[in-house]
A and B are shown apart, each in its own frame.
Chain A
């Protein structure tokens, strides 16, 4: 099996865990999580220097899911990678669980920051990146933002300072699925010309199809090697990717799975 097929299979496994956990917990935000899966899979199974056996290793690469509501993509990937037992996923979003509907720092190994309120993750990532640059460490900080999150003023405060400080170990990834919570981005608050906005703040901009695995790996690695940073990858994605009835729909920001829909979605991950 070549490396790309391996990653594609891992992404399918992540989606199966994600869908099953969302069904068991009766949680929403499924579409928001599915759009992130291919990228997060590529990060943990190919790009990031991380070791589940040493989750606090000081030279590790760090991934922050700033769009915390998409947590199931992260949780499922961390479990599959071996950071914690899949059993925790079974309890996600239920009583007496360690896994909340948004990531909680330190709740389980591999969860690097508490997020949930939008517009915080990139700032924390900048603080880490700036510190590691000062220590001349070689590790990278990846922060995934939602497109809706780019409405937040605090996001742009961070973008401005990171551009000024030239933190080339900081890589932002925007999950640009073009749909925010109750509407399409272009109708709610249009971000375009999006790439130009980042460039104007002195970021190096890369773009990719966020579901094309070979392009994802290539672009993530390019961003990692780039010295022009900070780097942003605008990832063109599809909300609900992988479950045909969810794809590019606004409603699946919130809807829950029925047993029938779970079966239909799982059948598409073979």
Chain B
């Protein structure tokens, strides 16, 4: 997904000289084509994320369409106040690209995990939060980001995710994608858990359980229409995210449901408000939090 983002941004920036990319000294294996082919639209700001965000704000004030790039905690949490004041308070055209959604850097410890980023970014006025679920969504999201005016957080995974929804033709920020129709229950997934949601949907179907699968690639603004439709038409909703269950996709969906008056069974799956106590691969850690397809299937069936 990361390479798709980088490749798409190169194509966009070749056509639009106003696009500018700043990295905080990261992007090995992903950004080379950009800095080699578009050196005048690229800056490595060094390992200094606070300055990187303030500088991006200044460049946007001078008319540039700026992308800043780092691993998620360093892109979003280290310079949080710069994002809050310089980007969001001033409502500037800067896209914060965070790489390493959820457990992408699972072996590296919580310093590199992205488990609170959605909650933090979603709380900021003027901020749009987009978490593509596969490389095709990442491509569409990157194209949409270049046209979007205002601060945006783009959450990118990097495990070589497959395209799970090749049928995708239309992408709009804030409009969820229904990957599979269904009447019995709904799985709403975001970011790199879309694949497991689709897998779970297939397994459920094979057992005669008709489960809707929604890709909620935009967490803010949340697609309330899609959530309410699922709440009316299906009996249970399960949310999937490689993120703390506090403040992320699950919370955003819960907010819509709680204010709707709808009666629907509901379960959030994600990190249960803790830093993983044990090291392991992405798949291993997903297993610790019931995020692998077989586990999801069991939970969805148990809810009904």
Chain A residues at the B interface, C-beta cutoff of 8 Å: 104-106, 112-114, 116-117, 119-132, 134, 153-154, 157-158, 160-161, 164
Contacts and interface: CB of A to CB of B under 8 A. Distances in A.
A125 B58 contact: yes
29 contacts: A105-B61, A106-B90, A112-B61, A114-B89, A114-B90, A116-B85, A117-B81, A120-B54, A120-B82, A123-B57, A123-B82, A124-B57, A124-B58, A124-B61, A126-B58, A127-B54, A127-B58, A130-B59, A131-B58, A131-B59, A132-B62, A154-B50, A157-B48, A157-B50, A157-B51, A158-B54, A161-B45, A161-B46, A161-B55
Interface string B59-82: 111111000000000000000011
Nearest to A155: B51
A120 B83 CA distance: 11
Contacts, number: 90
A131 B92 CA distance: 15
A157 B55 CA distance: 11
B59 A128 contact: yes
Interface string B32-53: 0000000010010110101101
Q: What is the interface residue range for chain B against chain A? A: 20 to 34
Nearest to B43: A130
A154 B40 contact: no
A104 to B, nearest CB: 8
A158 B90 contact: no
Interface centre among B40, B46, B51, by most chain A C-beta atoms within 10 angstroms, is B51
Contact of A128 (B43, B48, B58, B85): B58
A136 to B, nearest CB: 12
B45 A120 contact: no
B58 to A, nearest CB: 2
Nearest to B57: A124
A161 B51 contact: yes
A116 B62 CA distance: 21
Contacts of B82: 120, 123, 154
B62 A127 contact: yes
Nearest to B79: A154
A130 B50 contact: no
B55 A113 contact: no
B179 to A, nearest CB: 40
A158 B55 contact: yes
Interface of B: 40, 43, 45-46, 48, 50-51, 53-64, 81-82, 85-86, 89-90
A119 B55 CA distance: 12
Contact of B55 (A112, A117, A130): A130
Q: What secondary structure prevails in chain B residues at the interface with A?
A: helix
Contacts of B89: 104-105, 114
A161 B64 CA distance: 19
Given A117-B81, A130-B55, A131-B63, 20 more contacts: A105-B89, A113-B90, A114-B86, A114-B90, A120-B54, A123-B51, A123-B55, A125-B58, A126-B55, A126-B58, A127-B57, A129-B58, A130-B59, A131-B58, A131-B59, A153-B50, A154-B54, A158-B54, A160-B48, A161-B48
A106 B64 CA distance: 18
Nearest to A112: B61
Contacts of B40: 134
B90 A160 contact: no
Given A113-B90, A131-B58, A160-B46, A126 B51 contact: yes
B56 A127 contact: yes
A120 B81 CA distance: 9
B102 to A, nearest CB: 28
B245 to A, nearest CB: 31
A134 B43 CA distance: 12
Contacts of A105: 61, 89-90
B255 to A, nearest CB: 29
The 6 closest A-B pairs by CB, nearest first: A127-B58, A123-B54, A157-B51, A131-B62, A157-B48, A124-B58
Contacts of A124: 54-55, 57-58, 61, 86
B19 to A, nearest CB: 13
Given A119-B50, A120-B86, A127 B61 contact: yes
Contacts of A122: 54
Nearest to A143: B58
Contacts of A127: 54-62
Contacts of B43: 130
Contacts of A114: 85-86, 89-90
B46 A113 contact: no
Nearest to B55: A127
Nearest to B84: A117
Contacts of A161: 45-46, 48, 51, 55
B2 to A, nearest CB: 25
Contacts of A104: 89
B143 to A, nearest CB: 24
A116 B81 CA distance: 11
A248 B106 CA distance: 55
A164 B45 CA distance: 10
A266 B282 CA distance: 68
